[in-house]
Amino acid sequence: MATVLTERTRYLLDEDRIPRAWYNIAADLPSPAPPPLHPGTGQPIGPGDLAPLFPMELIKQVVSQEREVEIPDPVRDAYKLYRPSPLHRARRLEKALDTPAHIYYKYEGGSPSGSHKPNTALAQAYFNKAEGVTRLATETGAGQWGSALAFAGAAFDLEIKVFMVRASYDQKPYRRILMETYGASVVPSPSPDTQYGQKVLAETPGHTGSLGVAISEAIEDTVTHPGTKYSLGSVFDFVLLHQTVIGQESIAQMDMAGEEPDVIIGCAGGGSNFAGLTFPWLGQTFRGGRKYKVIAAEPEAAPSLTRGVYAYDFGDTAKTTPLVKMHTLGSDFIPEPIHAGGLRYHGMAPLISHIYELGLLEAIAIEQTECFAAAITFARTEGIVPAPEPTHALAATIREALACKESGEDKVIVTALCGHGLLDLAAYEEYLGGQMVDSGLSDQDLASALAAVPVLAG
C-alpha cells in the first residue's frame, strides 16, 4: 500500500506578503564590487554613459547603496498575478532518494510566462514606460526571458522586439509563438535586421547564435530606433536586485516551515535567479548571521565560474557594452547548443563573481545528461517538469541529498526551481530517446576563447 504523506508540502504566503522593497546586497557586501569601466577611457562609467540604454530610475538602482529599494505599486500589483510563489517541501523526491536531507524548492514556474524572469521584466517595463519609452529591444536565449518581457510589454503597453538565439529559435518554436501571442516581434539572431547580424551571417552562414551576439544586435537596434531602450534578463545589477523577491519570500516561508537552510542551490547562467534566491540569505550572513553553503550550478558547456578567468570583459560579442569585471570565458566564446539555452552565456553577473572571489559561494559545472536524469527523477516524484536550466540546480541538489544519505546527515537544502519545461519537451524527447549527448569543453577550446579577453593597461 502506498504510504500516505500527511506532513505539510507547500508553504504559501498571502498576497500582502509580497515584498514591498527589493533587497540591495551592495549595502551589506564585505567590500564593494569593482565598477564597470568605459572601454574607451578605462575610467568608471557614469550615469550618462548608460542613459542611451536604460531609464534613469534603473540607472539609479545600479549605483544605490540603500539596503531597500521600494517596489512601485503598479509593479507590486502586476506581481499579484503570480506572487508570492510557493515554497514546496520535496517529500516525494526525498523518499525516492531515500535521503535524510530535507529538500525545499521555491517554484517560479507558476508565473504567466513560466519562469522567474517576469520579476524583473515587469519592473523594467514599468520604469521605461514611466519615462516615456515606447519600445524595448532585447535578446533571449531559451526564450524564457523574451516571453517574460513580451508579457510585461503587454502589461505596460510597450512594443517589444526580441532577438532570439538561433539555436533556441529552431529548438523551441512554441516559445516564439508565446512571445508573438503576447504581441512581441521575434527574429532569430544573428538576423539580417542589424548591421552586426549581417556581418556575422556573412562570415558564418548558419551561425547557431549566442547570447553575446543577440545582445549586440539588441543594443544596435536600441541606439538606431528613437523611443527605444534596451532591456536585459540577467547579469546587470538591477536585474539581480528585482529577483530578490524570491529569496525574501523564501526566508518567510522557511520560517513557516520552522527550518533554516544548510545548503542553498541555484542554477547560474548570467546569475539572476541564483542571486534572487541567495542574496537575501547571504545578506543575513554579511550582517553577522549564520553562514550557509551556497552553490551555483552551471553547465559544463559554459563554465564561466568554474573555468573562466576573473577579468574585465565585454558583455556582448560586438564589444559594445561597458567593460565589467566578471568570471568570463571571453566574449567571443560560443557555447555548444545545449538545451539549457538560458545558461549559454560567456560571463557571470559581476556581483556574483565578486562574492565568489571573496570565497563566500561555491560553484560546480554539470553535464546535461546528469541534469536531465535529475529532471526525470524530479518529474516522476514531484510532478513538475523543470525547464532545462534549473535541472542543473536539481542535479546539484540530488548530489547533496545523496551525500547526506552516505553520511546520515539530515541537512536542509533549499533550491530554486526557476521555471517549468512544458515548452521544452523536445529536449526531454531527445533525452528519453537516448540521443542526448554531453558537450564538455576542451582545454584547447577554452584557451582560445580566453585569449580574446581584453588585457587592460595597469
Ligand X SMILES: Cc1ncc(COP(=O)(O)O)c(C=O)c1O
Which spans of this chain sit near ligand X (rule: CB under 6 A)? 115, 141-142, 144-145, 234, 267-274, 342-343, 387, 389-390, 418-419
In this chain, which residue has its C-beta nearest to ligand X? 342
Name which of 251 and 343 has its Cβ closer to ligand X. Answer: 343
**Of 303 and 342, CB closest to ligand X:** 342
Q: With respect to ligand X, which residue has the nearer C-beta, 59 or 302?
A: 302
Closest approach, Cβ 444 to ligand X, in A, equals 27
The answer to whether 245 and 83 have CB atoms below 8 angstroms apart is yes
Identify the H or E element spanning 89: strand 87-89
User: Cβ closer to ligand X: 36 or 143?
Assistant: 143
Our CB check for ligand X shows the closer of 19 and 347 to be 347
As a whole number of angstroms, the distance between CA 278 and CA 276 comes to 6
Taking the complex as a whole, the smallest distance from the CB of residue 234 to ligand X amounts, in Å, to 3
Name the residue nearer to ligand X (CB basis): 209 or 419: 419
- DSSP codes of every residue in 113-160: TSBSTHHHHHHHHHHHHHTT--EEEEEESSSHHHHHHHHHHHHHT-EE
Q: How far is CA 90 from CA 353, 394, 403, 421, in A?
A: 30, 11, 17, 18
In DSSP notation, 276-302 reads HHHHHHHHHHHTT----EEEEEEETTS
Paired residues of 312 in beta bridges: 325
* Minimum gap (Å) between residue 159 Cβ and ligand X: 21
Q: How far is the CB of 83 from ligand X (least distance, A)?
A: 16
458 burial level (CB within 10 Å; 0-12, 13-18, 19+)? exposed
Instruction: DSSP for 300-359, please give it.
Output: TTS-HHHHSEEEEEESSTT--SPEEEEEES-TT------S-GGG--SB--HHHHHHHHTT
The three-class DSSP label of residue 366 is strand
Least Å distance between CB 267 and ligand X? 6
| Least distance (Å) between residue 65 CB and ligand X | 23
Closer by beta carbon to ligand X, 296 or else 404: 296
Nearest residue (CB) to ligand X, 237 versus 389: 389
Phi, psi of 328 (to 5 degrees): -140, 150
Beta carbon of residue 343, minimum distance to ligand X (angstroms, whole number): 6
CB of 146 to ligand X, least distance (A): 9
Distance in Å, CB of 168 to ligand X, minimum: 9
Closest CA to 275 of 94, 24, 8: 24
| DSSP annotation string for 231-263 | --SSSSHHHHHHTHHHHHHHHHHHHHHT---SE
Q: Which is nearer to ligand X, 146 or 411 (CB)?
A: 146
